[in-house]
Amino acid sequence: MHGKLAILSIALLAAFILGGCTVFFLDQDDGLTYGRFVRIETTAYCPCGICCSWKLDKSGRPVISAGRDRGKPKAVGITASGKRAHPGTIAADTRYYPIGTVIYVPGYGYGVVEDRGGDIRGRRRLDLFFNTHREAIRWGRRKVKTVVFPPGTPAMPINAPPPR
Ligand SMILES: [Zn+2]
């Protein structure tokens, strides 16, 4: 009996140390969806030229102001997925968090990965969309314990109750 308990404890401890294995669940109409904790450094952005690297050219049209695509037309407020950005839009490294991934961010709410960002690289970085620059500045940079849900989890309203 004690042996079994010890093995169970060691297994749980190993799972915990390996990280990202702690499960949390989202109670949905059709049952429970399990997510996992991931500690992530979050920043914030809005559609403005400062946050999204664009400026107006001589004819008053928005163009990309930095990087490889400098000078090319910029669709302001449109995400990498082609959807219009809205509160709840999250930019992530889509090698780790594919478009459509549902993530709960404490203090922000539920979001969906719909965008990418030049310096949003790796498992431990997210950029959260806000409508205004002021709100983005207010968020600043926060390290939070997010809950990442598996592929296929339906999007949640940003202000739905937190997972339990
Ligand atoms: Zn901005």
- Which segments of the chain have a pLDDT < 70? 1-24, 28-30
Q: For residue 11, how far is its CA from the centre of ligand 1 (angstroms)?
A: 45
Q: For residue 51, how far is its CA from the centre of ligand 1 (angstroms)?
A: 4
The answer to whether residues 25 and 33 touch, using CB atoms and an 8 Å cutoff, is: yes
pLDDT of residue 32: 76
pLDDT of residue 157: 94
pLDDT of residue 6: 62
Q: For residue 14, how far is its CA from the centre of ligand 1 (angstroms)?
A: 42
For residues 154 and 143, give the distance between their C-alpha atoms in angstroms, rounded to a whole number. 25
pLDDT of residue 33: 80
User: Taking the model in full, what pTM does it have?
Assistant: 0.82
Question: pLDDT digit string (tens) for 79-101?
Answer: 999 999 999 999 999 999 999 99
DSSP class of residue 109 equals E
Instruction: Indicate the domain borders of the chain.
Output: 22-148
Report the relative pairing of strands 62-64 and 23-28 from DSSP bridges.
Answer: unpaired
CA dihedral sign of residues 121, 126, 132, 135: negative
Please tell me whether residue 89 adopts helix, strand or coil conformation: strand
pLDDT of residue 85: 97
Q: For residue 53, how far is its CA from the centre of ligand 1 (angstroms)?
A: 9
pLDDT of residue 164: 80
Q: For residue 48, how far is its CA from the centre of ligand 1 (angstroms)?
A: 4
Report the relative pairing of strands 125-129 and 54-56 from DSSP bridges.
Answer: unpaired
Is CATH 2.40.40.10 correct for 22-148? yes
Please tell me whether residue 90 adopts helix, strand or coil conformation: strand
Q: For residue 43, how far is its CA from the centre of ligand 1 (angstroms)?
A: 11
Q: For residue 132, how far is its CA from the centre of ligand 1 (angstroms)?
A: 6
Q: For residue 89, how far is its CA from the centre of ligand 1 (angstroms)?
A: 14
Q: For residue 134, how far is its CA from the centre of ligand 1 (angstroms)?
A: 8
Residue 86 is which amino acid?
Answer: H
pLDDT of residue 30: 66
Q: For residue 161, how far is its CA from the centre of ligand 1 (angstroms)?
A: 28
For residues 84 and 67, give the distance between their C-alpha atoms in angstroms, rounded to a whole number. 22
Q: For residue 26, how far is its CA from the centre of ligand 1 (angstroms)?
A: 32
For residues 164 and 128, give the distance between their C-alpha atoms in angstroms, rounded to a whole number. 22
